[in-house]
Amino acid sequence: MKEKILSLPSPLGDPLELYKFSFAPARYDDTLSLVTGLHGDELNGIYLAGRLIQFLKTATAARSNSPYQLNQRVQIFPAVQLNALQAGTRIWPQDGLDMDLSFPGSDEGDLTEQLARAIYRHTFESTWGLILASAPEHFEDAPHAVCLNRGRNEKKLAAGLGLEIARVRETSPLRRVQLLHQWMEHEIPSLTLCAGRAGQLDQALCDSLFRGLLNLLLVTGILSHPEQKGKKGEVNFFNSRQEVPVKVQNGGLFLPAVTAGTRMKPGQKLGELRTIYEGDLVEVPEAPEEGILVSIRAAPVVYPSEPVAILLVEHKRRFWFF
């Protein structure tokens, strides 16, 4: 069911409208809330939300021959920052607010804050929470989970999605105004699925992620199938001390030699850095130690001391004081 949950006057002309799509059996106990498009350039998540809506429409149609049965409620909030999407920008330039730094929002605030408030109001009583996102600007991410708790339920979510990597974030004042933190405060098991590059739609990647979404619905019992059962794999959790950024000393054009998700060996080449004007090779960034390349620079222009990659290492980094 498509439901308009907010309509606001917009300085651009047509009202800004926010929709959610709900699918549920006659009786249910649990609710999965899926939110995407918190930024206007997170195209993979927006596309995935649309695919899931179409799948659930078919599965729940009155005369459907689908073998899937929906047992719990799923509510989907696609393209919530529609103004930014239509403007082709990450955030809406009219108010300059990052929606994922605007929670729990305000009914009396700017448009972005009012949108955030509506999302918060419709999701804070969920059983599960899932945000679909892309890598930060200028980077490409291997599919992985971001969570604030390393609990049994978060592991179940990540494993259900078929993810092998989960990054555990520490609480900070900045993260307190993010949707994921607001869900955590309401004790909602939740995570963010990060994958791909902002501003690009990778259909092959989305095919893989969509299979993970369906598997998650089976693992949690939200969906059932007479012949298919959800599969849970192993998830490796990494904290901030296990993240190793690789920075360049010079500026120029960075040309990556490996892709996100590669398991790197010490000294393995990450790419080349060449001068902008003449193309001279000035630096060859390498992996400082063994680890998983979770994120690599995708935008070629870099400045001195900027990171071009992030490695996740399996051992805890220790600091010795003398």
Residue 82 and residue 34 share a domain: yes
Residue 319 has pLDDT above 50, yes or no: no
Collapsed DSSP state (helix, strand, coil) of residue 110: coil
Tens digits of per-residue pLDDT, 78-114? 999 998 998 899 998 888 999 999 999 999 999 999 9
Tens digits of per-residue pLDDT, 140-160? 999 999 999 999 999 999 999
Structure confidence at residue 318 (pLDDT):
41
Provide the residue range defining the domain that includes 57: 2-237
- Structural domain ending residue among the three candidates 183, 207, 237: 237
CATH code of the domain containing 291: 2.40.50.100
Give the residue carrying structure tokens 């998983």: 292
- Whether residue 66 is contained in a domain is answered as yes
DSSP state of 84: H
pTM attached to this predicted model? 0.94
Structure confidence at residue 322 (pLDDT):
28
- Whether residue 322 is contained in a domain is answered as no
- Whether residue 320 is contained in a domain is answered as no
Q: What DSSP line would sit under 197-235, residue for residue? A: ETT---HHHHHHHHHHHHHHHHHTTSEE-SS--------
Task: Please count the structural domains in the chain.
Answer: 2
- Structural domain ending residue among the three candidates 220, 237, 254: 237
> Phi/psi zone of residue 37: left (φ > 0), alpha (ψ -120 to 50 degrees), beta?
left
Residue 248 and residue 217 share a domain: no
Report whether 210 contacts 51 (CB < 8 A): yes
Amino acid of residue 122:
H
Best CA proximity match to 161, nearest among 241, 104, 219: 219
Residue 262 and residue 147 share a domain: no
Residue 157 and residue 92 share a domain: yes
Phi, psi of 142 (to 5 degrees): -70, 145
Both tokens of 201, joined, read 């739609």
Amino acid of residue 161:
L
- Whether residue 144 is contained in a domain is answered as yes
Both tokens of 220, joined, read 């949690």
First to last CA, the chain: 64
- Whether residue 62 is contained in a domain is answered as yes
- Structural domain ending residue among the three candidates 237, 269, 302: 237
Which of 297-309 are b and which e, b meaning 16 or more Cβ less than 10 Å from the residue's Cβ? bbeeebeeeebbb
